[in-house]
Structure 1
C-alpha cells in the first residue's frame, strides 16, 4: 500500500473502519480498477451491483460524517468508473456544522459577566447558543439582551445558583460553562450567604455539569485566594509557581479559595459519555471600568469630601485590570479548553490576569481616572497602619461579643487594612504563554473610557441634586 498523494486500492469496508478510527488521515484517495476479466454477460450485472454498493457506501459515509464530522477532513473518491465524485474540506465546512458549540455564563447580569457575554457574541462565530444565568437582571439589561441582533441564540435564565434542579436544567445540552457568579463583600456579617453562594453554589454547578456531561468548566476566581496575608511582606511580579495561598478566614477569600480548589480538582474526571472534563481558573486582580460598583462607591465618598480621595496608605502598590481585558482572557481560555489537543496543557491550572495598568495604590488609581473632573488626592496620611490594624482587631472583637444580641458591622477590618496597605503585584506572563493572552485595551484607552464614564456619573449626580433642591 502506498502513501502520500498516490492511490489506495482498498475496499469500501476499509473506508468505514477509517471513519470510525480517530487516526484517519487528512486525505484519502481511493481508486477501484475499471478493468477485470469477466465472463460474457456478467459485466452489466456487476456494474449494477457496484452502483448499488456505491450508493449504500456513500449513504453510510454521509451518515457517519454527520455523526462524527471531525474525523473526515478531505475525502476524494477518484474515478471508480461508476461513481465520479470529489469531496473537499470546503464542502464539509459549509454543509456540516462541524464546530458548533454552546455556552452557559453564570453571573451574566454582573459587571464582568455582561462583558464576557458581549465579547463571546462578537468573537465566536460558531457559538450556536449562549445561556445567561443570574439571580437578578436589571430591566435595562434584559431589554438590551432582547434587542441583540445576532445569529447566536441568546437564552436568559433567571434563578438561584443554589437551586439544584434549576442548575441541572440550565446545563442540559451546553458544551461549555463560564462560572463568574459570586458575592464580593469584605465585610463580616454576610458570611453564611457568601460561603453558600461562592462555595456551595460552585460545587452544585460542578455536579450539574458532570451530570449533564459538559466537558469544559472555566472558573472566575480572584487574586485574593493568594493573599496578601500581611502588609509587612511584599510580593512583586508574583507568578503561578509561587503557590501563594490566602490564610484569611474572612468569607470572600476563604470561599473563593475553596471553590477554586474544587474546580481544579475536578479536572480530568471521566464523564459518562466518555469525554474528559477540563477545568481552569482565572485570577483577575482588582477589576475597574465603566459600571464598576466599587469605583462608584469611592467616587460617592469623595464627593462628600469636596472631591478629595483620602490617602489611605504610604508605599502600597497593587495591580488593577480593565474589565474588557479580563473578559478577553475568558474568551481565550475557553478557546484553549475547547481544543482537544491543547486542553490538557491548561487543565487544572490557574492564571493571574493583569494588564498594562501601572501598579499603584487604590487611592492613587482612583485619582488617576477622576482627576479630569476635578478630583484630588489628599496630601496628608491618616493614622499609621499599625494602629489602624490593631483598632480593626478591637472592632472585630467587639462585633463578635455583641453578635448574640446585636449585629455590628465595623467600618473596617484587619483584612481590609491589609488589602489596602500591601505591595502585592503579579505578572500575566503565564497567561500570555499558555492562553495567548495580550491585553486588548491599553492603559491609556482604559483610563479614557473609565474617565468618560465618571463624567456621566457626575452629570447624573448634578441632575439628582437639582431634583432634590426645593
Structure 2
C-alpha cells in the first residue's frame, strides 16, 4: 500500500476520532482527510496536536453536498464512512435520518466512483440484523444466518438500505476503469471513553443521586469497546488493498464484537460506573410483554395526536425489543478474513472507561458548583 490516503467521514464523532488516531500510526499512509459537518473546537485542537508524520486535513462539509464529497474524494485510496444519525426514539424527523444515512451514503458512493476511489468501508450496525421481536433469541450469531431487520423505524431501515447499497456497489467500474471494492462492518453496541450514550446516562444518574435507570433488565448483549471497533476498520482498510486478502473481503459484511462479557446493558453501565458510587434502580419493572404493549399504546397515542400535536413517546416497541433481547454475535468471520483480534481486553476497556466516567463526574460536579455560586 505505498503512498495511500484515507478519507474518514463522521471524523468528529465518537468512533471517527478513534479511527483517525489509529490511522496516524499506519506506515505508508500519506494523508488522512477528516470530514464532518461541524467539528467542535476541542476536536480540531486534538487533531492539530496529533504526533504524526501523516498529513491530517480537517474538512467541514455536508454529506448531502455532492460537490463537496467529490472534492473530498479526489486522490483518495480508501474511504471509511462512519457518518450517520443514530436515533431509536423518533426524536429526529424521519426524512432527515433517511437523507443523512441513506442518501448521504449513496452520494458518497457516487463520489467515489467519479473520483476513482478503489476501496470503501461502511460502518453499519448490528441493528440491521434485528432483533425483530423481544422474543427473538440469538446467541453467538454469525453472518451466514442472513438476518434482516423488518422494523420500518427510520434508523434501522436507513442503515439496512445504506448497507445494501454499499455491498451492491462492490465490483462497479470506476471512472478510470478500475474496480470498486466495498465491505461493511456491523459493530455491536459501542462503549468507551467519550460515548455520548454513556455521557447522557451518567448525567441523568447524577441528577438522581447516582441511581442508574433500569431500561434493559431483560437483555443479554455483547457490547464492544470503541478501540476494538476502530481497529477492525483499520484491518478492513488494509485488507481491501491487499491483493491476497481483498477477494475474500469484497462485498462482505462482518459482525464486530470482542471479549466483553455477555451482559445486560444495565449491568454494563453499572460495571463501568460502580467505582464512582453509582447503583442500579431497585424499583419494580413491569414484565417484558407488558412493557412492549405499553410501548405500542404510546405509539398509538402519538399517531392519534399527530395532526394536532407532535408527541414523542419515551418508549416504543422497537426500542424495547432492541434493548431487552437476547442478541449476541461472534466475530469469527472477521477473525478469519480480516485477521481481527481485539487488541483491548475487557479488563482494560472497563478500566479506561471507568476512569473517564470519573473525570466526567468531576466535571459535572464542577459545573453544578459553578451554577450554585
TM-score by length of 2: 0.97
Alignment of 1:118-157 (within 5 A): 118-122=21-25, 124-157=26-59
Q: Does 1:320 align with 2:223?
A: yes
Cα distance in structure 2, aligned partners of 1:313 and 1:332: 32
| 1:149 positional shift | 3.7
2:366 matched residue in structure 1: 463
Cα distance in structure 2, aligned partners of 1:354 and 1:271: 32
1:158 matched residue in structure 2: 60
| Deviation string, structure 1 residues 401-431 (Cα, Å, up to 9, x no partner) | 2222221111111111111210000000010
2:127 matched residue in structure 1: 224
Identify which of 102, 110, 117 aligns with 1:207: 110
Identify which of 67, 75, 84 aligns with 1:173: 75
Secondary structure of the 1:131 match is strand
1:3 matched residue in structure 2: none
Secondary structure of the 2:144 match is helix
2:234 matched residue in structure 1: 331
Alignment RMSD, CA only?
1.2
2:245 matched residue in structure 1: 342
Q: Is the 8 A contact 2:245 2:337 kept in 1?
A: no
| 1:189 positional shift | 4.2
2:336 matched residue in structure 1: 433
Unaligned runs of 5+ in 2: none
Q: Does 1:372 align with 2:275?
A: yes
| Deviation string, structure 1 residues 24-73 (Cα, Å, up to 9, x no partner) | xxxxxxxxxxxxxxxxxxxxxxxxxxxxxxxxxxxxxxxxxxxxxxxxxx
Alignment of 1:239-318 (within 5 A): 239-318=142-221
TM-score by length of 1: 0.77
| Deviation string, structure 1 residues 329-383 (Cα, Å, up to 9, x no partner) | 0000111101123212110100000001001111111000001011112334412
Cα distance in structure 2, aligned partners of 1:273 and 1:165: 19
Secondary structure of the 2:281 match is strand
| Deviation string, structure 1 residues 436-457 (Cα, Å, up to 9, x no partner) | 0000100000000000000001
Q: Is the 8 A contact 1:240 1:350 kept in 2?
A: yes
Cα distance in structure 2, aligned partners of 1:179 and 1:312: 30
Larger RCO, structure (CA 8 Å, separation 6 or more): 2
Secondary structure of the 2:175 match is coil
Runs (4+) off by over 3 Å: 310-315
| Deviation string, structure 1 residues 238-291 (Cα, Å, up to 9, x no partner) | 000111100011111000000000000010112232321100000001000000
Q: Is the 8 A contact 2:217 2:266 kept in 1?
A: no
Unaligned runs of 5+ in 1: 1-97
Cα distance in structure 2, aligned partners of 1:180 and 1:415: 23
Cα distance in structure 2, aligned partners of 1:403 and 1:375: 38
Q: Is the 8 A contact 1:263 1:279 kept in 2?
A: yes
Secondary structure of the 1:406 match is coil
Secondary structure of the 1:209 match is helix
Secondary structure of the 2:24 match is helix
| 1:314 positional shift | 4.4
Larger radius of gyration: 1
Cα distance in structure 1, aligned partners of 2:267 and 2:53: 43
Alignment length, in residue pairs?
Answer: 372
